[in-house]
Amino acid sequence: MGIYSCLGKTLDEVKTSLYTGKSGIVFDPVRKEMGFRSALTAKLDEPNLKGVLSRNQRVYMAEECKYAYAATKDALDYAKLDLDYLEKHAVGLLYGNDSSADAVVKSVDTMREKKDTTLVGSGAIFQSMNSTVTMNLGTLFKLRGINMTVSAACASGSHAIGLGSLLIKWGLQDIIVCGGAQEVNPFSIGSFDGISAFSARESEPTKASRPFDRDRDGLVPGGGAATVIIEEYEHAVKRGAPILGEIMGYGFSSNGDHISSPNVDGPANSLKMCLEQAKMNIKDIGYINAHATSTHVGDTNEAKAIYNVFGDQKVPVTSTKGQTGHEMWMAGASEIIYSMLMMKNDFIAANLNFENPDEDSAKLNIPGERISAHFDTFLSNSFGFGGTNSTLIVKNL
Amino acid sequence: MENQELIAHINEVLADEFEIEVSDITPDANIKETLQLDSLSLVDMVALIENEFCVKIQNSELPTIQSFADLYAFIGARMSK
């Protein structure tokens, strides 16, 4: 695993942030000057890759690629995979990403101003495409297996891991680099702000993202990148790789409904399919990492979907987005890492800012404070615009 | 701009963009080899020259510019027009 997030740039830093309930959310005055309704965002500095990668390597990397490079380098090191190995074996790459707005905006600005396409430079096309992350990571790490970006809105990272697990299950790949990346620049989410999706609680940035809380008023955008290396079990054993967990199930569904408003049946179907694929019972699940983004309808319908499937089982449910904001294309991957860190360290981080339940969240077991908990299996939900749903179940090893 | 000043300016912007030392640049050196340009980064050099000196190098003119001396002469000639 490797991660570059507002909660830290190493697994240890992130674990500590989860444990202490640190919020990564700030007020960004630049967004206010740009006319944003809400200037709240997760704070994240770009990694400085000068001296690490050459100019001719960096020039093709959009913001989110830099996060993904940092996370993937750490994940590959952790998994004991070096460039020599990667050059000699068909290691795959499936990464979630669904925008590269900053690069697009800058190149269009240049074309409009200068009326000369040469002046957008050679990097623009490679930075502008949704597949910018997989183009760059595939090249930089000499990857020779499947190489594909998964664009499925806020479920992108989760689907990338789920699809990767199927390719391994079917024997088509031994190792796949999976993950999700999300740009944090204002251009990437201005249109999101335009539909009033963001919390307007600007006077209290660290209290703005409050999944499942009665007084939530919208999400807070975040980002970065998270990478998990998935590998066929026997292959990993033979290689002497550190094995952290097993992907037991991948469930998915589409709502076939409204483009932005989620429903209950779609997510519930994804949960049920995941349990079936994992051949598991609701009693086997020790923790649920919810998608809950701190929006009214989204959290309500997810709470209903979880209750529909889990009933009064009272499995602890939290959304880490109270700390991170919504990491969107990255979230499905980062939340696997957050959950893994909690599972490995016997705690469940507080569902930050969960002070008062509403009618639906009251039916779930949502700890507003960190709890000590030993669990060996967790379920992670990710849902996205267009009604795309993805659920993963991971077991401790 | 005097010729030596122009040459120093060209060397400075190229060294800065392509991350080499100014001292690595000599008039007779091959531009592509010295700046490690491939077909893509060559586009960036053309864009850099256009942005910095308002001199457009057409694709058809590129083959005539092999050394730094060629580039100094090309830019100098266009700027004096």
Query: Are the C-beta atoms of A337 and A185 separated by less than 8 Å?
Result: no
**Chain A nearest CA to B52, separation (Å):** 11
| pLDDT at residue A131, as a whole number | 98
Least CB-CB distance to B36: which of A50, A56, A120? A56
Provide ipTM, 2 decimals: 0.92
Q: In the annotation, is A89 catalytic?
A: no
| pLDDT at residue B52, as a whole number | 96
Chain A CB within 8 Å of residue B41 CB: yes
**Chain B nearest CA to A136, separation (Å):** 15
List A6, A65, A154, A178, catalytic entry: A154
The answer on pLDDT for A248 being more than 70 is yes
Chain A CB within 8 Å of residue B43 CB: yes
Residues of B in contact with A54 (CB under 8 A): 19, 36
Q: CB–CB of B44 and A121 under 8 A?
A: yes
C-alpha–C-alpha distance, residues B57 and B65, integer Å: 9
Q: CB–CB of B44 and A116 under 8 A?
A: no
Residues of B in contact with A55 (CB under 8 A): 17-19, 41
| pLDDT at residue B1, as a whole number | 54
> What are the pLDDT tens digits along chain B (81 aa)?
569 999 999 999 999 999 999 999 999 999 999 999 999 999 999 999 999 999 999 999 999 999 999 999 999 999 987
The answer on pLDDT for A44 being more than 70 is yes
Chain A CB within 8 Å of residue B33 CB: no
The answer on pLDDT for A333 being more than 90 is yes
- State which residue of chain A sits closest to B45, comparing Cα positions: A121
Most A CBs within 10 Å: which of B44, B46, B54, as the mutation test of the A interface? B44
| Best CA proximity match to A391, nearest among A319, A311, A289 | A289
| pLDDT at residue B2, as a whole number | 60
The answer on pLDDT for A46 being more than 80 is yes
C-alpha–C-alpha distance, residues A60 and A378, integer Å: 37
| pLDDT at residue B80, as a whole number | 84
Q: What is the 3-state secondary structure (H, E, C) of chain B?
A: CCHHHHHHHHHHHHHHHHCCCHHHCCCCCEHHHHHCCCHHHHHHHHHHHHHHHCCCCCHHHHHHCCEHHHHHHHHHHHHHC
Q: In the annotation, is A326 catalytic?
A: yes
The answer on pLDDT for A182 being more than 80 is yes
| pLDDT at residue B20, as a whole number | 97
The answer for residues whose C-beta is within 8 angstroms of residue A119's C-beta and 6 or more apart is A110, A111, B47, B50, B51
Q: CB–CB of B17 and A116 under 8 A?
A: no
- Angle, alpha carbons A305-A225-A343 (nearest 5°): 55
- State which residue of chain B sits closest to A54, comparing Cα positions: B19
Q: CB–CB of A122 and B40 under 8 A?
A: yes
Tens-digit pLDDT profile for residues A111-147: 999 999 999 999 999 999 999 999 999 999 999 999 9
Chain A residues near any Cβ of chain B (below 8 Å): 50, 54-56, 59, 116, 118-123
C-alpha–C-alpha distance, residues A342 and A379, integer Å: 13
| pLDDT at residue A288, as a whole number | 98
Span A77-86, mean pLDDT? Answer: 98
Tens-digit pLDDT profile for residues A191-225: 999 999 999 999 999 999 999 999 999 999 999 99
| Best CA proximity match to A210, nearest among A294, A153, A128 | A294
Torsion-angle region of residue A116: left (phi > 0), alpha (psi -120 to 50) or beta? beta
Write down the pTM of the prediction: 0.97
Q: In the annotation, is A178 catalytic?
A: no
- CB neighbour class for A157 (10 Å; exposed up to 12, middle 13-18, buried from 19): buried
